[in-house]
Amino acid sequence: MLAATMIIGGVLVITRKNAVHSAMALITTLLAQAALYLMLYAPFVAGVQIILYAGGIMVLFLFVIMLINLERNMKERQFNKQWLVGIVAAAALGGLFIAVYTTTTRGKVLFPEGRMTYGESQNTQAIAGLLFDRGAGQYMFAFEIASLLLLVAIIGAVVMAKKRI
Amino acid sequence: MHDLILYIQSYLDSDRTPGGAGNIFWATVYILLVFGGLSVAVIAMNWLERKILAHMQVRLGPMRVGPHGLLQPIADAIKLLLKEDIIPAEADKIVFWIAPFIVVLAAFTVFVVVPFGPTHAITDMNIGILFMLGVSSLSVLGIVTAGWASNSHYPLIGALRSSAQMVSYEVAMGLAVLSVILMTSLNATGTGTLSMIGIVQAQLAQGEWFIFKFFPLGLIGFVIFAIAMVAETNRAPFDLPEAESELTAGFHTEYSGFRWSLFFLAEYSAMIAVSSIAVTLWLGGWLRPFPNALSGPTWELVFSLFPGITFVLLALMCFYNTARMPKHPLFKIQTIGLAGFGVVLGVIGLLLFLTPVRVRVTDIFWFAAKVAGFMYLYIWYRGTFPRYRFDQLMKVGWKVLLPTGLTLLICTAVWAMRSDVWFEVIVPLWHYFVGILHWLVSLL
pLDDT band at B438 (very low <50, low <70, confident <90, very high): very high
Question: A132-136, B31-35, B272-276, B340-344: lowest mean pLDDT where?
Answer: A132-136
pLDDT surpasses 60 at B31: yes
Tell how far CA B195 is from the center of its chain: 16
Q: Rounded to 10 degrees, what is the CA torsion of B402, B403, B409, B414?
A: 180
Distance from CA of B36 to the nearest CA of A (A): 27
Which residues on A lie below 8 Å from B151 (Cβ)? none
To test the contact with chain B by mutation, choose from A121, A123, A125, A158 the residue with the greatest count of B C-beta atoms within 10 A, namely A121
* Interface touch B163/A63, C-beta < 8 Å: yes
pLDDT band at A119 (very low <50, low <70, confident <90, very high): low
Which residues on A lie below 8 Å from B134 (Cβ)? 47-48, 50-51, 54-55
The alpha carbon dihedral of B181, A124, B195, B43 has a sign of positive
* Interface touch B137/A47, C-beta < 8 Å: no
- Residue B125, pLDDT score: 82
Mean pLDDT (whole number) for B181-203: 82
The rounded distance, in Å, linking the Cα atoms of B179 and B345 is: 41
Mean pLDDT (whole number) for B191-215: 84
- Residue B245, pLDDT score: 53
The rounded distance, in Å, linking the Cα atoms of B283 and B276 is: 10
pLDDT band at B97 (very low <50, low <70, confident <90, very high): confident
Which residues on A lie below 8 Å from B163 (Cβ)? 59, 63
Mean pLDDT (whole number) for B272-282: 92
**Per-residue pLDDT reduced to its tens digit, B327-350:** 888 888 888 888 888 999 999 888
* Interface touch A124/B145, C-beta < 8 Å: no
- Residue A135, pLDDT score: 67
On the CB side of B412, CA atoms within 13 Å amount to 30
Most confident by average pLDDT, A120-134, B139-153, B246-260, B266-280 = B266-280
| Alpha-carbon distance values, B268 to B22, B157, B174, B258, B277 (Å) | 30, 22, 21, 15, 14
pLDDT surpasses 90 at B361: no
Is B183 within 8 Å of B189 (Cβ atoms)? Answer: no
pLDDT band at B268 (very low <50, low <70, confident <90, very high): very high
Rg for chain A (alpha carbons), in Å?
A: 21
Question: A43-47, A127-131, B318-322: lowest mean pLDDT where?
Answer: A127-131
Nearest to B126 among A21, A43, A48 (CB): A43
- Residue B223, pLDDT score: 93
pLDDT surpasses 70 at B13: no
The alpha carbon dihedral of A23, A29, A30, A32 has a sign of positive
- Between helix B153-184 and helix B196-206 the angle, nearest 10°, is 40
Pick the more confident residue, B398 or B26. B398
DSSP letters spanning A110-122: HS-SS-----TTH
- Residue A136, pLDDT score: 63
Pick the more confident residue, B236 or B203. B203
- Residue B224, pLDDT score: 94
Is some CB atom of chain A closer than 8 A to the CB atom of B167? yes
Which residues on A lie below 8 Å from B138 (Cβ)? 50, 54-55
Mean pLDDT (whole number) for B61-78: 87
Mean pLDDT (whole number) for B125-130: 86
- Residue B201, pLDDT score: 87
- Residue A69, pLDDT score: 67
pLDDT surpasses 70 at B248: no
**Per-residue pLDDT reduced to its tens digit, A14-66:** 888 778 888 889 999 999 999 988 888 888 888 899 988 988 889 888 888 88
Q: What is the pTM of this model?
A: 0.87
- Residue A110, pLDDT score: 63
The rounded distance, in Å, linking the Cα atoms of B325 and A85 is: 84
- Residue B376, pLDDT score: 94
Is B100 within 8 Å of B139 (Cβ atoms)? Answer: no
pLDDT surpasses 60 at B247: no
- Residue A118, pLDDT score: 62
| Alpha-carbon distance values, B351 to B34, B333, B347 (Å) | 21, 27, 6
- Residue A73, pLDDT score: 65
- Residue A32, pLDDT score: 92
pLDDT surpasses 90 at A104: no
- Residue A67, pLDDT score: 78
pLDDT surpasses 70 at B3: yes
Tell how far CA B289 is from the center of its chain: 19
Is some CB atom of chain A closer than 8 A to the CB atom of B208? no
| Chain A residue nearest residue B163, CA to CA | A59
On the CB side of A131, CA atoms within 13 Å amount to 8
Which residue blocks in B249-296 are alpha helix, DSSP H? 258-282
- Residue A146, pLDDT score: 92
| Chain A residue nearest residue B194, CA to CA | A124
pLDDT surpasses 80 at B294: no
* Interface touch A62/B145, C-beta < 8 Å: yes
Nearest to B125 among A43, A50, A51 (CB): A43
Q: Rounded to 10 degrees, what is the CA torsion of A56, A57, A61, A64?
A: 70
Tell me the domains of chain A and their CATH numbers: 1-75 (1.20.120.1200), 121-165 (no CATH)
What is residue A1's DSSP assignment? -
What is residue B69's DSSP assignment? G
Q: Rounded to 10 degrees, what is the CA torsion of B61, B66, B68, B71?
A: -70
- Residue A113, pLDDT score: 58
Mean pLDDT (whole number) for B2-19: 73
Nearest to B194 among A27, A67, A124 (CB): A124
pLDDT band at A164 (very low <50, low <70, confident <90, very high): confident
Is B63 within 8 Å of B45 (Cβ atoms)? Answer: no
Nearest to B130 among A51, A56, A62 (CB): A51
- Residue B87, pLDDT score: 80
- Residue B104, pLDDT score: 92
DSSP letters spanning A135-149: TT--HHHHHHHHHHH
* Interface touch B137/A55, C-beta < 8 Å: yes
Q: Whole-number mean pLDDT of chain B?
A: 85
- Residue B246, pLDDT score: 58
pLDDT band at B405 (very low <50, low <70, confident <90, very high): very high
Peptide bond into B100 cis (omega under 30): no
| Alpha-carbon distance values, B5 to B8, B11, B25, B116, B367 (Å) | 5, 11, 11, 26, 31
Question: B5-14, B29-38, B120-129, B271-280: lowest mean pLDDT where?
Answer: B5-14
Distance from CA of A109 to the nearest CA of B (A): 29
- ipTM field: 0.81
User: What number of C-beta contacts closer than 8 Å exist between A and B?
Assistant: 73
Question: A116-125, B14-23, B361-370: lowest mean pLDDT where?
Answer: A116-125
Instruction: Determine the straight-line distance between the first and last CA of chain A, rounded to whole angstroms.
Output: 54
- Residue B401, pLDDT score: 93
Instruction: Write a three-state SS string for B33-50.
Output: HHHHHHHHHHHHHHHHHH
Residue type, B374: F
